[in-house]
């Protein structure tokens, strides 16, 4: 089954919420865990236990695992396996973007059957040219996985590139949207190529009407975005939008039961 179809089914069964697993040092402190691999493992596996059978999409942030070297990556591999075994779709936040054989190697690591780091989808950066993502898109399509390309991020530095005007008069972000839409053309119920669009943006400024794919909307909850912001940016129909939160849920650890309760509260607040 294609990724878009699996995502559509997961949203129907579990709701649209995406929860990040971000083992930030401050969160390890808040959970009373040491800032070492043992603390990382306890944090990640507790979160996986709480979220894996509850949330449609779980988004581990790879950088927080990589910070601990090979042992941290081993924890990430285990967390991915446990989340997928519990039925969650795993969107690995790696934001990889490169060219040629290097992009193909990233695709082999994250989007190929048999790799211990293979997730259901990954975040990718199109800012070496959208065409540079072809190895990742091809690998994802071949294995029933997906990619989410950065389009409009909420960091203030992003606008200088993403809202710049391309040679054809479109914004760079709109060009990314249009490339993704072309890859999703004719695919139902959702395409396999999604976009990352910050939920805290003051304005959207791009046309998503032809995308036919999912939108990952980070910034919901602790970073300030509300349901009203989601509707303001994406319209009344939020069926393909994945509001994403991390701290609003993770701050309720270290108990798996309290994390599940936090998920329920946040999901109920979406009212979509």
Place of tokens 């649209």: 16
pLDDT in tens, the chain (272 residues): 999 999 999 999 999 999 999 999 999 999 999 999 999 999 999 999 999 999 999 999 999 999 999 999 999 999 999 999 999 999 999 999 999 999 999 999 999 999 999 999 999 999 999 999 999 999 999 999 999 999 999 999 999 999 999 999 999 999 999 999 999 999 999 999 999 999 999 999 999 999 999 999 999 977 788 999 999 999 988 889 999 999 999 999 999 999 999 999 999 988 76
Q: What confidence score (pLDDT) does residue 221 get?
A: 79
Compute the distance between CA of residue 255 and CA of residue 242 in angstroms, rounded to an integer: 25
The region that residue 219 occupies, defined by phi over 0 for left and psi between -120 and 50 for alpha, beta otherwise, is: left
Length of the chain, in residues = 272
Domain covering 3-270, topology:
TIM Barrel (3.20.20)
Q: What does DSSP say about strands 121-124 and 146-152: parallel, antiparallel, or unpaired?
A: parallel
> Quick check: 147 and 124 in contact, CB under 8 A?
yes
Which burial class, exposed, middle or buried, applies to 51 when counting CB atoms under 10 A from its CB (0-12, 13-18, 19+)? buried
Q: What confidence score (pLDDT) does residue 96 get?
A: 98
Q: How many Cβ atoms sit within 10 Å of the Cβ of residue 32?
A: 10
List 59, 71, 95, 251, catalytic entry: 95
Q: How many Cβ atoms sit within 10 Å of the Cβ of residue 11?
A: 23
Is 95 a residue of the active site? yes
Compute the distance between CA of residue 212 and CA of residue 149 in angstroms, rounded to an integer: 14
Instruction: Enter the pTM of the model.
Output: 0.97
Question: What does the angle CA 53 – CA 57 – CA 59 come to, to the nearest 5 degrees?
Answer: 110
Q: Which two tokens stand for residue 165?
A: 């005007």
């Amino acid at each position: 089954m294609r990724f878009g179809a699996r995502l559509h089914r997961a949203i129907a069964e579990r709701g649209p919420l995406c929860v990040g697993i971000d083992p930030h040092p401050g969160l390890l402190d808040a959970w009373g865990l040491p800032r070492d691999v043992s603390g990382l493992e306890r944090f990640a596996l507790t979160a996986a236990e709480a979220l894996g059978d509850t949330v449609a999409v779980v988004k581990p942030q790879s950088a927080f695992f990589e910070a601990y070297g090979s042992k941290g990556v081993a924890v990430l591999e285990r967390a991915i396996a446990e989340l997928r075994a519990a039925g969650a779709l795993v969107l690995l936040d790696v934001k990889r973007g490169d060219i040629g054989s290097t992009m193909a190697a990233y695709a082999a690591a994250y989007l190929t059957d048999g790799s211990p780091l293979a997730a259901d989808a990954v975040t990718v950066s199109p800012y070496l040219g959208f065409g540079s993502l072809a190895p990742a898109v091809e690998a994802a399509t071949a294995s029933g996985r997906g990619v989410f390309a950065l389009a409009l991020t909420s960091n203030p530095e992003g606008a200088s590139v993403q809202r710049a005007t391309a040679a054809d008069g479109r914004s760079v972000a709109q060009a990314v949207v249009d490339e993704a839409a072309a890859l999703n053309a004719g695919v139902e119920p959702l395409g396999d190529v999604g976009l990352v669009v910050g939920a805290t943006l003051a304005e959207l400024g791009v046309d998503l009407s032809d995308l036919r794919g999912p939108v990952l909307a980070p910034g919901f909850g602790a970073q300030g975005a509300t349901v009203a912001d989601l509707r303001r940016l994406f319209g009344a129909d939020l069926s393909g939008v994945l509001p994403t939160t991390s701290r609003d849920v993770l701050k309720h650890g270290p108990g798996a039961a309290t994390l599940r309760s936090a998920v329920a509260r946040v999901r109920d607040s979406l009212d979509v």
